Each structure stands twice: as C-alpha cells, then as structure tokens.
Amino acid sequence: MKIKGVNLGNWLVLEKWMSPALFAGTTAEDEYYLPRQLPREVYEARIQIHRSEYISERDFVTIKSMGMDAVRIPVPYFIFGDREPFIGCVEELDKAFNWAEKYGLQILIDLHTAPMGQNGFDNGGICGVCRWSQFPEEVEFVLTVLERLSERYGNRKGLWGIEVLNEPVTERAWQSMDVPNRYPAVDPQMAEGSRPNTLVFLRDFYCRAYDRMRRYLPEEKYIVIHDGFELMAWKDFMRDEKYVNVVLDTHQYLMLAEAEGCPQNTEAYLSYIRDHYEKEIAEMQNYFPVICGEWCLFNSLACGCDTKGGQSVLNGVHGNDTEQLEAGEKREIYRALARAQLAAWEMGSGYFYWSYKLLTDTVNDKGWIGWDSWDFGRCVDLGWFPTRE
C-alpha cells in the first residue's frame, strides 16, 4: 500500500487565511463565529456558493492528471446538519464520491473538527478552545458521527479510509505552538479550562472509535489515527490481532521544525528532514503503515523573513511586501525540499499534500509572499513540485 494524494482543505471545513473573502464584513477568525456574525440568509448563501464553486468535478480530473491517486477530505462534526447554526455538507461528500469513482481516485474522509475543540487551532473550528475531551456527551457525539460516516460510505468503491480525528493536540505541541496566545479565544469564559488532550484519553478514544466504526467498515478499508504530534508514542498501541488495517497519520510541517529551533536555511531543513522525518517514519513503519497526511513546501527562507513558526498577517506577523529571492532561487529551494520530503514519505506508506488550492491573493494582498507554496496547483504549475519524477 502506497498512497499519493492531496487535501481538499478549506472546502467543507473553512480556514479564514485560505479564503479571506468568505469572512468579509465580520471579525470572525474561525468557522464557529462566522454564522453567529452574519444574517442567516447571508451565511447560507455564502456557504452554498463557496461549496459549489471551490471544488467541482473538474478538480477531480485535474488532480488525477497531476499524478495523484487520492484526496483527503476534511469534514466538520456538523456534516449531517444536526448542529445549529451550521449547515451540513453530506451532499457535497456524496458528490465527491461520485466524482472520485468516475475518475479513479480514492477518498480518505478526515473528521477535522470536534465540538468545543480538540486543538484550539483555527482549523479546529474554534480558536483558543480545547475542551472537547472533557465533555463525555460530545465525545459520544463524535463517535456517532464516525459511525454514520462508516455506515454511509463503508461499501463505496471510492473509500480508502476514514480518519478518526484530525490533530487532537497533546502536551508538547500545545506548549511549542503556544496555542492560547497564537489562537486567542473570543470568549475567555468558553475557553476557560482549555488544555491539551492526554495520550491516555486518545488511546481509549481511538479504541472505542475503532470498535464502533468496524461494525460498518469492511476490513479492507483503513481506519486512520492521528499521532497527536507524538509520532514515536504509539509503538505499543493496538497490538491485538483484532486491530486490522489501522494507519498512523503524522503531520510534518517545516514551520513546526522552525518553531522547535531548526535554522532557516536549505541545509538545515534537509538535515532535519533526514534526521527526523525519515528516521522516525522508517522506525514507526515497523508498527503501523505511516502516512504523512499533511505537509507542504512552505518555509520561512522562501518567504524571505522569519514567519515565527508559520504565523501570518492574520496572527499579526507581517511578511514581506516584495520578493526577497529570485524566482530561480525559490524554485531550487522548493524542489530540493520537495525531493527530500517525498523521499521521507517513501519510508512510510504515502502522503497527502496540504492543500489542493487556496484563494489567498499572495500578489496583491500585502504580507503574503511565500504563502503560495501551500497551493498544490501553483506548486505543480511553477515547477516546484516534481509530479512526474
């Protein structure tokens, strides 16, 4: 099993930095507050137009032509339309399966958010709030969502697998990313008591999720668990024979390497990739098939400034307004990093690039130079990503 794919980020789970116009006229930084700051009809119209235009049949043709064989689709906990004021999106996922099966792509459904937050990130749906695991009824709700997804799509030809939960943060990442300050909460009362998930909780939750999902999922379909930013912590997990086709997902971004002290130059990045990504994935591949479910070419060197671990204008870290590197220099940096990271993922069972596209205008909007590398389509078109090598 080797999988090569790309994430359909910002389609069914919104991220403001990837599509700023969706948040126009509000102060909302995340999906939780967007419908609370817009009139209902405006919110509904925006969301419906966004979902119908952002990803369409044509994109599945394009992704296949880029040499990819799968897409990872982040979905929200309200996918089934049972959590006001949000609008469900299961019909869009149904369409995605029809497109994927028509054009020969596989789908990894990724449950990307949880009520009350599993990480406090903007992409977790609510900034600065990480309390989901403290509410048994919300943990149960997430389990029912996973059951319903498993039942609905378990026998679809296009289903590769289902990811139990995206990026539930644990202690080390909570500290290194300084989550409460990086993603300030709008409502301090709601955020009170926010803290990282424990590995003990995650292990129990993953086992419960596995049992609930396997009632509907055929054994050949994969159940994917995220490492909680602790790749090496899972060696003794799910060793019983009953656990089959469990995949360990790790997310490796160079901006996080920078946050941990990696110098911002090509040689240092390449060394970090070899010493950490390659070695650790090769080691963990002895215990689980390991995929890198999120990664990209973004780095501070190509931005021409220190992004403080991948923070943007939206975090108050203003980037450059003019390019600091020649186009040829950037291309060489990106191609070197692409080859090294692809070699690291080869030590495991594959990867999904983050993300297929973004609507951020990195030319006209000031401070976004270098952020175009998050857009897989641009990376391919500009020759930064070696699709056919």
| pLDDT per residue as tens digits for the range 117-162 | 999 999 999 999 999 999 999 999 999 999 999 999 999 999 999 9
The 10s digit of each residue's pLDDT in 324-340 is: 999 999 999 999 999 99
| 93 domain residue, yes or no | yes
32 within 8 A of 126, measured Cβ to Cβ: yes
Task: Tell me the H-state helices in the chain.
Answer: 34-37, 40-54, 57-65, 90-103, 136-153, 171-176, 179-182, 188-191, 199-214, 254-259, 266-272, 279-284, 300-303, 327-346, 376-381
The verdict on residue 31 lying in a domain is: no
What are the distances in angstroms from CA 14 to CA 49, 126, 219, 240?
A: 13, 11, 32, 37
Q: What is the pTM of this model?
A: 0.98
Q: Which structural domain range is residue 273 located in?
A: 3-19+51-381
Cβ atoms of 255 and 272 closer than 8 Å: no
CATH number, position 126 = 3.20.20.80
Angle in degrees, CA 200, 13, 167, rounded to 5: 20
Structure token pair of residue 107 = 């789908």
Q: Is residue 7 part of a domain?
A: yes
Residue 29 lies in a domain: no
Average pLDDT over residues 90-105: 98
Res 319: pLDDT: 84
Which is nearest to 278 in space by CA: 337, 221, 347? Answer: 347
Tell me, yes or no, whether 386 lies in a domain. no
Instruction: Take residue 273 and report the two structure tokens written for it.
Output: 């990739």
Residue 352: its H or E element: strand 350-353
CA distance 231 to 283: 10
Q: Confirm if 247 and 194 have CB atoms less than 8 A apart.
A: no
pLDDT at 1 over 90: no
